[in-house]
Amino acid sequence: MKTRIQRLFILVSMITLSGCYSSIAIKEFNPDPVGSRQEPEYDSLQVVETMETYGSLIPGGLSIQGGYLFAGDYSGRVYAFDIKDFEEVGYASIRNTSIVSPPQFAGDKLYYLYRKKLLPELHLVKYNLRSGKEEMDIEAGVAGDATLHQFESEIIVIAGNEIFFYDTLLIEQKRVTLDEELSCVTNQIDGKIYLGSYSGKVQTVDIKEKTIKKVIPEFSEPVLSITKIGDNFIVSLESGQLIYVGESGHKFWEHETGKTVATPLIAGGYLYVGTLAGTVFKISIKTGEIKAKFDTGGLINLPLSVSGDKLFVPVIDGRLILLNVSKLEPIQTVSFDGRIRTGAVSNGDLIFLGYDNGKIAILKAIPTQVGD
Query: Is the confidence at residue 9, as pLDDT, over 50?
Result: no
Report whether 203 contacts 233 (CB < 8 A).
Answer: no
Report whether 110 contacts 103 (CB < 8 A).
Answer: yes
**Measured between alpha carbons, how far is 341 from 344 in angstroms, rounded to an integer?**
10
| pLDDT single digits (tens) 210-228 | 999 988 999 999 999 999 9
Helix (H, G, I), strand (E, B) or coil at 351: strand
Show Cβ contacts of residue 209 under 8 Å, excluding neighbours closer than 6 positions: none
Please compute the mean of the pLDDT values over residues 300-309 and round it to a whole number. 91
DSSP 36-103: ---PPPEEEEEEEEEEE-SSPEEEEEEEEETTEEEEEETTSEEEEEETTT--EEEEEE-TTEEE-S--
**Measured between alpha carbons, how far is 314 from 188 in angstroms, rounded to an integer?**
21
What pLDDT shows up at residue 112?
A: 94
Label the pairing between strands 211-216 and 223-229.
unpaired
- Does domain 22-35+56-185 fall under CATH 3.40.190.10? My reply is no
**Measured between alpha carbons, how far is 96 from 103 in angstroms, rounded to an integer?**
18
Burial of 36: CB neighbours in 10 Å, binned 0-12, 13-18, 19+? exposed
Local confidence band at 26 (pLDDT 50, 70, 90 cut-offs): confident
What pLDDT shows up at residue 362?
A: 96
**Measured between alpha carbons, how far is 233 from 201 in angstroms, rounded to an integer?**
13
Instruction: Record the pTM.
Output: 0.86
What pLDDT shows up at residue 37?
A: 56
